[in-house]
């Protein structure tokens, strides 16, 4: 069974991270599966569409890069997840580079390293 994951990321700087995460989930040795429910375009109604999709997902994966704190779309998606009580986790996008939390992240939210074990645990509900 596939876990419905909404992937939140900075479209201007981190689209490659989203591509890598979806690609990893398709590897035969992947310990998890992802149904990608992220929004491909920034239409005028993207907030209501994001809310609809986030509510329909099991978890939100937030890919954190060097400029995530300035990504207003990511902040809005995390806020929607909080409002809708959909679990989310923050994932460091690039090893060896600083990763910023979205501005709507809670102070206690941890940025996790991007590893197979962490992904499997976080998608499975561990925090």
Task: Check if the beta carbon of residue 75 is closer than 8 Å to that of residue 97.
Answer: no
Cα–Cα distances in Å, from 63 out to 16, 28, 44, 45, 49? 10, 22, 23, 23, 20
Letter string b/e over residues 48-63, b meaning 16 or more CB atoms within 10 A of that residue's CB: eebbebbeebbbbbbb
Q: What is the pLDDT of residues 52-90, one digit of tens each?
A: 999 999 899 999 999 999 999 999 999 999 999 999 999
111 pLDDT above the threshold of 80: yes
Identify the CATH homologous superfamily for domain 3-123.
P-loop containing nucleotide triphosphate hydrolases (3.40.50.300)
Domain chopping of the chain, boundaries: 3-123
Per-residue confidence (pLDDT) for residue 14, from 0 to 100: 94
The phi and psi torsions of 93 (rounded to 5 degrees) equal -70, -45
Q: What is the pLDDT of residues 9-59, one digit of tens each?
A: 998 999 999 999 999 888 887 767 777 777 777 677 888 999 999 999 989
1 pLDDT above the threshold of 60: no
Per-residue confidence (pLDDT) for residue 127, from 0 to 100: 82
Beta bridge partners of 4: 35
Q: What Rg do the C-alpha atoms of the chain give, in angstroms?
A: 13
Per-residue confidence (pLDDT) for residue 88, from 0 to 100: 97
Which is more confident, 86 or 6? 86
């Amino acid at each position: 069974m596939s876990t419905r994951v909404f992937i939140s990321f900075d479209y201007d700087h981190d689209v490659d991270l989203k591509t890598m995460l979806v690609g990893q989930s398709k590897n035969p040795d992947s310990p998890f599966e992802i149904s990608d429910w992220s929004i491909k375009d920034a239409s005028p109604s993207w907030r209501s569409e994001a809310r609809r999709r986030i509510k329909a997902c099991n978890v939100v994966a937030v890919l954190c890069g060097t400029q995530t704190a300035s990504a207003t779309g990511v902040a809005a998606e995390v806020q929607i997840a909080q409002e809708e009580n959909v679990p989310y986790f923050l994932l460091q996008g690039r090893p060896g580079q600083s990763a910023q939390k979205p501005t709507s992240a809670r102070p206690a939210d941890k940025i996790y390293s991007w590893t197979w074990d962490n992904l499997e645990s976080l998608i499975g509900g561990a925090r």
